[in-house]
Chain A
Amino acid sequence: MRKFIIRRIAYLLLTYWAFITVLFVIFRMTPGDPTTMYVVEGMTEAERQATLERYGLTDPLHIQYLNYVGDLLRGDLGFSYRYNTSVASILIIKFWNTIFLMATSLLIAYSIGILFGAYLGWVRGTAKEKGGLLLALIFRSSPEFWIGIVLLSVFVFRLGWFPWGGIRAIGAEAPVGFTSRYFNREFAYHLFLPALTGAIYYMAQPILLMRSSMISVLNSDFIEIKKAEGLSPTRIVYKHAARNSMLPMATVIALVAGMSIGGSLVIETVFSWPGMGREMVESVHHNDYPMAMGAFFLMGTVVIFMNFLADIAYVYLDPRVRYD
């Protein structure tokens, strides 16, 4: 077990290094630098050179690469051209905003989706299954922005139950400190609709996956034995069948969690949520490459880290992979 984790950490580092390198190369291949953004009619060549030098863009590529890696190791994501401040200070806030939004969405989507999908697998062939399946397919084929707009029009503009967007009341000062920022009623109140939008959108996949996984597990011999043992149906479905059907879910959760960080863009736009997705797109628009790189870096970090967690989780979920 320890050996497995150590080896897995080695893979993690290797993946990380490859990821950082690709990120660096891609952004060096894209055209544009700070001067193209702030191009002013009267900018002289000397001024341009000075700007480039200030950002370290006149160094040879390999030096730039080493500086980049070194900075990352120190937790320095660079200096934003657009905000004129460090990337990390801007991104860290947007990152947590997005994490809270997506974690809530996915938590709801996957806990309900898994249970509901397991149920659909169990009642296979009945009208209940057909109805549930239809619902899942509607969820799956509804675009996020549409779900968001529908929720907005009903709960905000018609019923007035929730705010139309943002993460706190307009004009309110951002509370200082992590806990006071996120763990309060004001935030939860603003979080509700966007999180629900995400939950609905992301719920279809676990439902459908769990259902088909359940159907194959329910055909196993051991399920028949459990029935013969006189265990209650609930116990058989959730303790045995669902537990076995969960195995493929670990991988999916990891992938979806990673991708949702970037994919939150649509929800963030509909609900004016100041998150990573919007920041990423805007920095690309404005050629703010350090910011965009930082955003991609955080997103990749989440993907890599979640996959690592999934692999570790697998060991606990499925005893058969333990000594691999």
Chain B
Amino acid sequence: MLSIENLNVYYETEEGDVHAVDGVNLELERNETIGLVGESGCGKTTTAKSIIRLLATNGRIADGTIEFEGTDITELSDRQLRKQIRWNEVSMIPQNAMNGFDPVYTVGEQIVEVIRAHESKTSKNEAWERARDLFDRLGIESDRVTDYPHQFSGGMAQRAMVALALALSPSIVLADEPTTALDVVIQDRILRVIKDLQDELNSSMILITHDMSVVSETCDDIAVMYGGRIVEYADAETVIKEPRHPYTLGLRNSFPDITQDSQELISIPGVPPDLVDPDEGCKFAPRCPFAEDQCWEETPQPEEYGENHIVECHRADEVEHLQEEAKKRETWMAMKDDPNAAPTKDVKDVKDVNQPADTLQEGSHDD
């Protein structure tokens, strides 16, 4: 249904173009949920936002295609994008629902607004009826549609945001860390509600998160992103249990596993790479305890290991050795102490450039 090919998204900065997304390929089927996992600034949000071309002013899709049911979204005019794709086919759930609503209108008014903006035939009453119905299905009292956003609790606001996101029964929902701001119990409930409705509407979802436990429960497939590339892609179970990429192994170490009694959390030393005019070679090499000469010189290409399991790593076939070594703290700590191991360029905070802090211009381009 959705097919992203060789997507390259650059952000223009004073230092040069930041290659925030650098050759991403992704296929999303109907009713499938893909988790995008990775550190801040690895390009997961940029990838998702590219689908509705909601990039910051200085961002641009430099190369690649995003095909939705045969139409290349990157080729659409702003008007077509707005009328056909945005919210109609692809909607989103932001991290903080409370800030996702306009504070001066009731939640119902905002749901009705988006319904009526896309469906000119739907009457005001029908739209309100649908808003109430959505509230009802999401477990919010339907009378609360006339409440203002600030009158909701965090969890309720998030549900209301899900109602907004599903108002037009979109084909794809982009959920950008939808539960990060909530406590664990509510997190779980919200995820379940999203899942149920998604099944009912036969929608697909791209779930962005850095929380491994969230993806493992919710997603069919997981794409692990690093430095603007998908470094490992497989079904959720494989990524969690049998990962091959050292970054995934490291990421897994840094989250607690409830199936084990006591487990030491090991973080990956170092910082995300500088994405301004990146050099040849594996971007993870500076932080990788298994990096060899080849890793520094040659960018690893995606290789298939087993069905639907794609890894970008020169040493992915040494999986057993990697998995064994990666469990040890010393393996990662050695990296930290060895100054020769990481000849990084001075690292800028890539996160800043990725944030859509300045989305003003984007709007005026819409005209």
Contact = CB atoms under 8 A, between A and B. Distances in A.
Contacts of A124: 360-361
B148 A320 contact: yes
Interface stretch (A7-15, A91-99, A195-203, A220-228): A220-228
A224 B94 contact: yes
Contact of B100 (A126, A225, A235): A225
Interface string B175-210: 000000000000000000000000000000000000
A125 B361 contact: yes
Interface residues of A, number: 33
Interface in A182-226: 215, 218-226
A201 B357 CA distance: 34
A149 interface: no
B351 interface: no
B88 A320 contact: no
A6 interface: no
A233 interface: yes
Interface in B86-144: 86-88, 91-92, 94, 96, 99-106, 113-114, 117-118
B114 A223 contact: no
Contacts, number: 102
A227 B362 contact: yes
A218 B102 contact: no
A231 B104 CA distance: 17
A82 interface: no
Given A232-B82, A319-B148, A227 B102 contact: no
Contacts of B23: none
A229 interface: yes
B148 A223 contact: no
B202 to A, nearest CB: 21
B54 interface: yes
Interface SS of A by simple majority: helix
Given A240-B102, A244-B103, A233 B86 contact: no
A228 B52 CA distance: 7
A221 B114 contact: no
Contacts of A123: 364
Nearest to B85: A230
B104 A317 contact: yes
B359 A230 contact: no
A88 B103 CA distance: 46
Nearest to B78: A233
A126 B362 contact: no
A281 interface: no
A223 B91 CA distance: 14
Contacts of A133: none
Interface in A83-128: 121-126
What class of interface size applies to chain B in its complex with A?
35 or more
A48 interface: no
A243 interface: yes
Contact of A220 (B81, B99, B106, B361): B99
A218 B364 CA distance: 12
A223 B359 contact: yes
B348 interface: no
Which of B85, B96, B356 has the most CB atoms of chain A within a 10 A radius of its CB?
A: B356
B359 A218 contact: yes
Contacts of B81: 230
B329 interface: no
A226 B91 CA distance: 11
A99 B57 CA distance: 45
Contact of B118 (A219, A230, A317): A230
Contacts of A219: 357-360
Interface of B: 52, 54, 57, 81-83, 85-88, 91-92, 94, 96, 99-106, 113-114, 117-118, 148, 150, 164, 356-364, 366-367
26 contacts: A125-B361, A220-B99, A221-B99, A222-B100, A224-B54, A225-B92, A227-B86, A227-B359, A227-B363, A228-B54, A228-B87, A228-B91, A228-B92, A229-B87, A230-B85, A231-B82, A231-B117, A232-B366, A233-B366, A233-B367, A237-B363, A243-B104, A318-B104, A319-B104, A319-B150, A320-B103
Closest 5 CB pairs of A and B: A230-B86, A221-B99, A230-B82, A319-B148, A229-B87
